[in-house]
Amino acid sequence: MFCTHAIRFMEKAGRAAELALTAAILVGVLALAPVWAEDITRGAVTGQTKAKGYDHPGQYLHLLPVRIADNMEPVIVHADQEKQARHKLAVLEKRFGKKPNILIFIMDDVGWMDPGFNGGGEAVGNPTPNMDRLAHSGLILTSAYSTPSCTPTRATIHLGQNPLHHGLLRPPMYGEPGGLDGAITVATLLQKLGYVTQGVGKWHMGENEGSLPQNVGYDDFYGFLSVSDMYTEWRDVYFNPEIALSPSRFAMMQKLPFNRNNVHCVKGKKGVENVYEINLSTIGNLDQDWANYSEKFIRKMAKSDRPWFLYHATRAGHFDNYPNDKYAGKSPARTVFSDAMVEADDILGQLVRALEETGQLENTLIIFTSDNGPEGEVPPHGRSPFRGYKGSSWEGGVRVPTFVYWKGMISPRKSDGLFDLGDLFNTCVSIAGVPGAEIAKHLPKDRYVDGIDQTSFLVADNGLSNRRSRFYTLNQHLSGVRIDEFKLIAALELEKAIFPRGYQAGFSGAIVTETGGVTMVNLYTDPQEDVNSGIRHIPATVVLGAEMGRYLEVLKRFPPRVKVGFGPTN
């Protein structure tokens, strides 16, 4: 189910290589001399060289990570940067007299190259000056990863688990059961640590009582419970005339058991308060309404002696985009997607201005990201320079535009160090005072944590990632692993396998789980993932095979779950 025979073969080879690697590291340490100091002749084709080459501090193929808890992913420890980060946090806490605030600003279906800081912006007809200014004053993460779609990513951020472990393998639609169901989330833990927790915007992590925001850690929530298209696509005579222009079918949609409103949820209160119905007349106001709600929260909290966590999830980006009237045609591209990007950029600017004006900017960590890559089947949509779209585990589907900004705390730079959005779970809690392996004490022992505490990566000057590898999932499959520039592929979406015409992306293709076996790409020489490097680069392939093997053992000890899946009963 999770890997091909050939990948299994690579795991065996990889385990042998891992033992050899361990032995080589030990020999190197014991001899107190680098193992590469021998007189090695290199390059029969390119000519022999005595050149020493370069090691890059953020590359870990040759390193083994440190195991910190039985139910947590191992980490690359950087003791010095950890010490520096903790010192900076302590100084800041002394200055403000409370822990730092955290703002997660998450967009929907926005591609890696949509904002200007990753090469889009003006170049694709939707300038993003606020995103760009903050990104370039903070840390741009060029290899930050989501899952292939909305709900799995949002649950990953909240639970620190990849979809195989949290079981939300795809979004629940039109009132389907399944969600967070009372799980301990990042909001639960922050609330426990004294934070005021506020959710605003798109939820889409379950509509049942146990999954409502106030029952998974939020003091207050204002937004919609599902996903943008569910409120409008069946009403729209252009997109779905088959439903919108049939009274009986339209009535069928109105009877489906999902909430059609912008809602308000409050801790301690059952259910939701319906604020207003979301339809073709009101949807264009949602992002403005939500922005004002978040701004009000930020301004109110300036007077509080408690730190806060604000999860602001935009409507913008997901089809069908209905930017506010005031933004119609405001992007040079003039598409609804690009207009929505420009609107969202203004909203980010609005929230940051509120932080600045209330003196909270320097005590607030801001994370900007997207929940998955562009949805390639419904134009106009986002853009990515990488292969594939939302719904696949090609880079285009899961590598998302991301930066972290923290005035005075994060030095401006770019890093290609691996960052999984699941790391936000650990990192937010770490910044709130529960670092590293300590988070395990707050969770059930049978819960595996795929996230890694990346506090020192973000906060230390020139900090490096604490993550050696990043696993890819695709529906119910473990689909690959990346270490440094190498990505081993075990399952994939073959885009053009089924439909010869129309948009061929994301959810339209076929899932292939039996590959030729030695299928690995080099994301530096071939970011488009269309050339196999597996055989030519077997020294790297076996290391990635070993890493895949390690995680398959993790999946035996902490088995995959299915809460919303693809089978006949799900």
Question: In the complex, what is the shortest distance from the CB of residue 152 to Ca ion, in angstroms, rounded to a whole number?
Answer: 10
CA distance 317 to 433: 34
**Type of residue at 563:** K
Chain position carrying tokens 């992002």 = 287
Number of Cβ within a 10 Å radius of residue 477: 22
Question: In the complex, what is the shortest distance from the CB of residue 223 to Ca ion, in angstroms, rounded to a whole number?
Answer: 15
Burial bucket for residue 56 (CB in 10 Å: 0-12, 13-18, 19+): exposed
Question: In the complex, what is the shortest distance from the CB of residue 536 to Ca ion, in angstroms, rounded to a whole number?
Answer: 36
Nearer to Ca ion, 295 or 377 (CB): 377
CA distance 162 to 469: 13
* Contact footprint for Ca ion (CB under 5 A): 108-109, 150, 371-372
Question: In the complex, what is the shortest distance from the CB of residue 107 to Ca ion, in angstroms, rounded to a whole number?
Answer: 8
Contact 145, 399 (CB under 8 A): yes
Question: In the complex, what is the shortest distance from the CB of residue 351 to Ca ion, in angstroms, rounded to a whole number?
Answer: 20
Nearer to Ca ion, 371 or 529 (CB): 371
Question: In the complex, what is the shortest distance from the CB of residue 156 to Ca ion, in angstroms, rounded to a whole number?
Answer: 12
Contact 407, 361 (CB under 8 A): yes
Nearer to Ca ion, 307 or 391 (CB): 391
Nearer to Ca ion, 11 or 108 (CB): 108
Task: Give the residue at shortest CB distance from Ca ion.
Answer: 150
Nearer to Ca ion, 155 or 518 (CB): 155
What does each C-alpha distance from 112 to 369, 400, 403, 482 come to in angstroms?
Answer: 9, 5, 11, 18
Helix (H, G, I), strand (E, B) or coil at 244: helix
Nearer to Ca ion, 109 or 420 (CB): 109
CB-side neighbour CA atoms (13 Å) of 366: 28
What does each C-alpha distance from 531 to 10, 265, 373, 449, 528 come to in angstroms?
Answer: 19, 49, 21, 33, 8
Nearer to Ca ion, 339 or 371 (CB): 371
For 555, the token pair is: 């999946």
Question: In the complex, what is the shortest distance from the CB of residue 117 to Ca ion, in angstroms, rounded to a whole number?
Answer: 20
Question: In the complex, what is the shortest distance from the CB of residue 438 to Ca ion, in angstroms, rounded to a whole number?
Answer: 32
Burial bucket for residue 549 (CB in 10 Å: 0-12, 13-18, 19+): buried
For 337, the token pair is: 């997607």
CA distance 375 to 505: 8
CA distance 265 to 185: 17
Nearer to Ca ion, 108 or 450 (CB): 108
